[in-house]
């Protein structure tokens, strides 16, 4: 049976559906953690346990280098550059689509929903990943950050999605993601949010961020969305 935790007052009819990428559509653990490990080694740090590097999945990389390793902003910026040396050629494809996601996207697209990708991952990498896994065909709009640091904040990414869609239909929109950044970004844009527990954020994190709805699995997400559309 589907388990849905609702923190909103009223179920919505969602017409515009924004998806996060990492931890929501795909599992990027191998590529991200190995690329972070590579960057740390280049900067003189040793971290043999890749599981400890999953904290880098979701938030802006530069912030996590600062917070987790006490780097200066300058050092963190260099670390991001080293990270990209590996990620841009190898790490972005060390990734897999969560089972059930392609079918969900197909059904949502056929239902008439407008689908958009809203990710803090650089847009140039996001496009390659979406093409690799044949997911581009379902999306009306794909927005990611710039390699120069633009649109790193999730709220800014979501705002850009609506600009590119030329829409202000916020009341019928929802942001789906696995981390607090997705939920907070949605709130700043006054749209609904769904937290997914199969990614890299905990139920506690999603609740504390104020997710309107929380689902356990891709199947639960599918049942919820296709019921509400």
Q: Which member of 20, 22, 27, 212 is catalytic?
A: 20
Q: Which of 32, 76, 30, 84 is nearest to 56 (CA)?
A: 32
Length of the chain: 229
Cα–Cα distance for residue pair 57/177, rounded to 1 Å: 12
| Strand residues in 36-191 grouped as ranges (E) | 96-97, 114-122, 141-145, 173-177
Alpha-carbon distances of 111 from 89, 115, 224, rounded to whole Å? 36, 11, 14
Cα–Cα distance for residue pair 129/126, rounded to 1 Å: 5
Active site residue 134: no
- Residue reference for tokens 């929380």: 214
Active centre residues (catalytic)? 20
């Amino acid at each position: 049976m589907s388990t849905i935790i609702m923190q909103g007052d009223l179920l919505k009819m969602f017409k515009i559906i924004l998806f996060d990428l990492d931890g929501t559509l795909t599992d990027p653990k191998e590529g991200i953690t190995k690329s972070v490990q590579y960057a740390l080694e280049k900067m003189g740090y040793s971290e043999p346990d890749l599981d400890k590097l999953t904290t880098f999945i979701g938030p802006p990389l530069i912030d996590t280098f600062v917070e987790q390793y006490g780097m200066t902003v300058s050092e963190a910026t260099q670390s991001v550059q080293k990270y990209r040396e590996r990620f841009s050629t190898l790490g972005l494809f060390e990734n897999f689509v969560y089972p059930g996601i392609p079918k969900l996207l197909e059904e949502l697209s056929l239902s008439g929903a407008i689908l958009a990708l809203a990710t803090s991952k650089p847009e140039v990498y996001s496009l390659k990943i979406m093409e690799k896994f044949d997911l581009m065909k379902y999306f009306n709009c794909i927005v990611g950050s710039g390699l120069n640091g633009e649109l790193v904040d999730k709220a800014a990414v979501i705002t850009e999605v609506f600009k590119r869609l030329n829409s202000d239909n916020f009341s019928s929109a929802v942001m789906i993601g696995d981390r607090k950044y997705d939920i907070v970004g949605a709130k700043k844009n006054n749209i609904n949010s769904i937290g997914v527990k199969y990614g890299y954020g905990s139920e506690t994190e999603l609740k504390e961020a104020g997710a309107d709805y929380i689902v356990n699995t891709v199947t639960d997400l599918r049942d919820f969305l296709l019921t509400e559309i």
